[in-house]
Structure 1
Amino acid sequence: MFKRRERRLAESGPYYRQRSWQLSAGFLAVVAVVGGVVTLLSGPDTTAAHASGAATAGPLAGPAAKDGRPRGCRTDDATGAELPKKAPGDVGWRTLGVARVPVSPSAGPTRIQGALWWCYAHTPTGAVIAAHVIPSQMSGSDWRTVTEQQVVPGRGREMFEFQRATVQSTDGRDSGTAVASYAGFSVSSYTGTAATVRLLLKSAQGYAATDISLRWSGGDWKVRPDDNGSLHSPVSAVQSTNGFVLWGV
């Protein structure tokens, strides 16, 4: 049974045609968030009605302040490049779309304006929180605004936008059934300008993990998608939580 589960998690082919994408508007509803059944739409007219909303201006699109951060963004970056050995002591959990995500007054996001949850600490812990929050924002109808301001520009973002436009938005609607949750994380690499965060996911079938790549761009952490448009690496089953910092929820 476990091997069958592993094969299902490590699906092949374009990610937007995989079952995990089809059940999640923007990220990992099958393996990472609570509820939220989203299906591919059958016709172009219906797709346009649900997914073609234009991006709107936001705080990350304007000129930066003198310190290079977006205007109004202030964080405590005193921990520098020290990798986290435990979860932030001030972490709390909030519902975002169809997910429950961690938030921290010290690590971010310290600012929430409409669809944008932004202003993360320029630290490994700030990157960790951003890796949970930003992809989870993609399930709602404001995904274009989030993509424009919190996803690194380039071929990968263009592919993501093209593929995401074929999927219906949820805007917080869910099935009421807990599918999986964020269980922990590890920081695979960190340089100050880039980070790779590995997310640990827990469901009734066990644990799984996926990697999120981020860049420090425009004074905040942004997700860097693969060239194929995927916001995360292929999800794979794991048998042990060793090496992960557990959220304890």
Structure 2
Amino acid sequence: MKSIRPPIILFASIIAIVIAVFAWTIGRDADTDDTPDHPSGTTMPTERTFPDLPPNATSQPPTTDLFGSRLEVPAEESGVALQQNPAARPDPSRPDYLTAAPANLQWQRGWGGAALPVSGSDGPTRIRHGVASGFARTPQGAALAALDALGRALAAPDGTWQQVVVERYYGGGPALVSRFARSREHTPNSARYVVVPEGVRVQQGYRDDLAIVQIANRAEGSYTAATWLMTWIDGDWRVRVSDDFEKLWGPGTSVPILTGFGSWKSQP
């Protein structure tokens, strides 16, 4: 494998995911000089533990993302919401509550190969016109909403991603939409770099109207973590964008090991 190019712009959020894959892929691909412009694990199970999609919702066998994590392939590229069972949500009294994955978590292959998360306990409850909504008012719901918001903003087709930014981000206005447009134009195949993260956690101090979500994924020799601020507005979690939204395209934080993060690979 050829050496990996140094510093790649990173979105301070799920795109710790994106930067890791870009670094890995660009190191192998000699035919591209593009520098991506994006806003900033545990042992795998030995038996099948992936939940089934609703009847008639699967059109193809499962596949994987660029790092080999399993992706379900629904009939719709925008994804398919699962039947919800709130009783299956992680118990708030468990010591790992802020890192625990939601019940029946699966990753679906969206537009261009993007990994989009859905669960059977914490949402989303609806996916309409390419926009997901209805995330539970829980740490898991906040993290799912964060992962979903950027994945769709980077992967959805023209006309849909703009609506994702308008509906799932709070703050920034038309200027934020323009910034995402420049980011997507600079890296037109960004969807395939949205992969399953290596670790997820919500920081201590979680409240039901504010959650600080951290996403970690592999980087050269370690991991990179990025942080999303999520706020509960109008009955759902949305990304809270600061006035200086260029900070969203800032560098992530190097994390040597994943201690303190939870594994959010597909779960039963």
User: TM-score, structure 2 length as denominator?
Assistant: 0.60
Whether 1:199 and 2:215 are equivalent positions in the alignment is yes
How far apart in 2 are the matches of 1:120 and 1:163?
A: 26
How far apart in 2 are the matches of 1:175 and 1:162?
A: 18
- Cα deviation, 1:111-169, whole Å, max 9, x if unaligned, reads 111220111011111011111111111123222101111111x3x34542231232446
Q: Is the 8 A contact 1:102 1:133 kept in 2?
A: yes
Whether 1:147 and 2:165 are equivalent positions in the alignment is yes
Q: Is the 8 A contact 1:180 1:202 kept in 2?
A: no
Query: Compared with structure 1, are the counterparts of its residues 144 and 135 closer, same or farther at alpha carbon in structure 2 (3 Å cutoff)?
Result: same
Aligned to 2:108: 94
- Cα deviation, 1:183-242, whole Å, max 9, x if unaligned, reads 111111411111110111124543110001111011011011232224476312110111
Which ranges in structure 2 are unaligned for 5 or more consecutive residues? 27-33, 38-83
User: How many percent of aligned residue pairs carry the same amino acid?
Assistant: 24
Query: Compared with structure 1, are the counterparts of its residues 205 and 160 closer, same or farther at alpha carbon in structure 2 (3 Å cutoff)?
Result: farther
Task: State how many pairs are aligned.
Answer: 197
Map 1:31-180 onto structure 2 (within 5 A): 31=20, 76=86, 83-97=97-111, 98-139=113-154, 140=156, 141=158, 142-152=160-170, 154=171, 156-168=172-184, 173=189
- Matched letter for residue 121 of structure 2: S
Query: Compared with structure 1, are the counterparts of its residues 170 and 80 closer, same or farther at alpha carbon in structure 2 (3 Å cutoff)?
Result: farther
How far apart in 1 are the matches of 2:261 and 2:199?
A: 6
Query: Compared with structure 1, are the counterparts of its residues 163 and 210 closer, same or farther at alpha carbon in structure 2 (3 Å cutoff)?
Result: same
How far apart in 2 are the matches of 1:194 and 1:80?
A: 19
Q: Is the 8 A contact 1:210 1:235 kept in 2?
A: yes
Aligned to 1:62: none
Query: Compared with structure 1, are the counterparts of its residues 175 and 133 closer, same or farther at alpha carbon in structure 2 (3 Å cutoff)?
Result: closer
Pick aligned residue for 2:259 from 192, 217, 242: 242
State the secondary structure of the residue aligned to 1:31: helix
How far apart in 1 are the matches of 2:259 and 2:181?
A: 38
- Matched letter for residue 163 of structure 1: R
- What RMSD, in angstroms, separates the aligned Cα atoms of the two structures? 3.9
State the secondary structure of the residue aligned to 1:108: coil
State the secondary structure of the residue aligned to 1:207: strand
User: TM-score, structure 1 length as denominator?
Assistant: 0.64
Q: Is the 8 A contact 1:157 1:225 kept in 2?
A: no
- Matched letter for residue 144 of structure 1: Q
State the secondary structure of the residue aligned to 1:190: coil
Whether 1:211 and 2:246 are equivalent positions in the alignment is no
Aligned to 2:60: none
Aligned to 1:184: 199
Q: Is the 8 A contact 1:159 1:227 kept in 2?
A: no
Pick aligned residue for 2:19 from 8, 17, 30: 30
Whether 1:227 and 2:216 are equivalent positions in the alignment is no
State the secondary structure of the residue aligned to 2:213: strand
